Each structure stands twice: as structure tokens, then as C-alpha cells.
Amino acid sequence: MTHAFISDMKCRRNLSVMQSRFFGRKAGKMGKHLQNLDELAHRKAKENSQQQSRHSSDPESSSSLEEITVAEDENETVFDHGGGSDDEASISLPLASDVKARMMKVVIATEESFKSIRGSEPSPELFDSVQVKAYGAFAPLNSVAQVVITSPTLATISCFDPDNAPSVRDAIRDMQGMNFNPRIEEGAVIVPIPRVSAETRKATVKQLGKVAENTKQRIRRIRRAALDMVKKVKDGKVEGISEDDAFRTGKEIDAVTEECTKILNDVVQQKQDSIMSV
């Protein structure tokens, strides 16, 4: 028995004596009530301990879901005004092809950010973001090794130079939010991949929805910046450009916006289906 436990038992005996001395016949009932409360507290403590034990043994619960971020370009909504002048007379209509290129750049960046997110089954793309320190500099994993998914719960990473295996192992181990525990066997890095729980997959799908909404907002901002230039032409503030050209350009911008939004929706839906498929 620990010292704290013995002290606790002594306190309980002293309390019992005091109850008998000060409460008389009611002491028995009060003692019984305190005993029931004590048993209830012990049951609660035991349940909490079991829950904590289960939580600590779950490899997915040891860290929160990694936040998915997509880098933004502050110039994506800045259009050339036809010579760099602030004079409205120098404004030119934006090209629909330029608007589409900017929107697709955002969509592609979002799609790239999804590669490091596991689907229902792991794929080599899961390791695309890993940077390995080799020969005194950092390099992408695929430039120093080949990743092969040997089973749904195991990846084998074969290093082109076996001397790089420790660096590859450390880089895999340090992947955020993955909790991988890689080991080296005969110059290759073996990575056990735990199954992803349904709860975690649902949380990931929900987060992908938020990323998609942020990407749509960026697409809308690009559209709005382009249409602002079109509006100035429509309002007759720009010389040398007909209103017909402005209306046509506005429709083209709306069309590429709809097209890029549909592509984004397909990308997100495909990834969400991959995550939730059994």
C-alpha cells in the first residue's frame, strides 16, 4: 500500500469515530451514505482510467487531425492594366484564358495538397511531400528512394543509396499527423501503416469540404477582380473598347469560372470518395 492510501484509510476511520460521537443514531445512515458516494467515485475513476488507456493505445488519437493548408498568391487577383498606368483610359479587358489559368493554378494547388492525405488504402503519393536530408541538402523523397505499397498496412521504401536509409527513416517518422514508426531492414525503410478509423476519415472529409470552400472563395475573388475591369468598360469610363467586347468578355469569364468550379468539385468529391470507400 502507498503512503497516501494508508493516510486516506486513517482519515476515514477518524471520520467514522467523529460521526458516531457527534451524530448518534444518525451516524450509521450518514456513514452508509458516505460509503455509497465513495464507491461511486471509485467507479467513475476506474471508468476514466480505462478510457484514457484506450485513448493512449489508439495511434490516431495521439495527435489531432493535421490542418490542410493551401498557399495563396497575393498577385492572383492583380490584372495588368495595359501599361502599368493608373489612368482608367489605359485599362484593357482581361483575357478569359488568363483568368482561367489563374483559377486552375488555385485548383491544382488544392489537388496537390490532397496527395499527402490517406484514402481508404495508402498510395505512394502519401509520401510525396517528404523532404529527406541527403548529401548535406534536403531533397524530395522520390529523388533518393522508391516507395512501394506492399500491402494495405505496409510500405517499403528502397533507397538508391543505402547510406541514406537513416535519413529517410527519420523523415518518415517526423511526418506530421501520421504517427509512423519506420524501421530499417537490409538497407530499406519499412513503414507499418495503421488502419484509419471511420471517425478519422469522416473528420478528414469534413475538413476537405472546408478547404474546397476556401478555394472557391479564391476563384470568386479572381472572377470579381476581372469583372471589375469589365465593369469600367461597360460604364463608359474607358475609351477604345466597345461595350459589346466588354459584355462578351464578362460572359467568357463567367464561363471559365463555372468550368473551374466544376473541376474543383470533381477533385474534392473524388478524394472524399477515396477516403470513405471500404
Residue 213 belongs to a domain with what CATH number? 1.10.132.20
The 10s digit of each residue's pLDDT in 175-224 is: 887 889 999 998 899 999 988 888 888 998 999 999 999 999 999 999 99
pLDDT at 41 over 60: no
Last residue within a domain, chosen from 156, 176, 192 = 192
Q: What angle do CA 97, 99, 102 make, to 5 degrees?
A: 110
Same domain, 267 and 209: yes
Average pLDDT over residues 242-265: 94
Average pLDDT over residues 266-276: 91
Same domain, 265 and 205: yes
The 10s digit of each residue's pLDDT in 120-153 is: 778 888 898 899 999 999 999 999 999 999 998 9
Q: How far is CA 185 from CA 4, 148, 179, 254, in A?
A: 48, 15, 19, 56
Strands (E), 144-221: 145-151, 154-159, 183-185, 188-192
Burial class of 174 by CB neighbour count within 10 A (0 to 12, 13 to 18, 19+):
exposed
Where is pLDDT greater, at 116 or 108?
108
pLDDT at 59 over 90: no
State which residues form the domain around 42.
3-57
Same domain, 216 and 102: yes
CB 82 within 8 A of CB 95: no
The total of structural domains in the chain comes to: 3
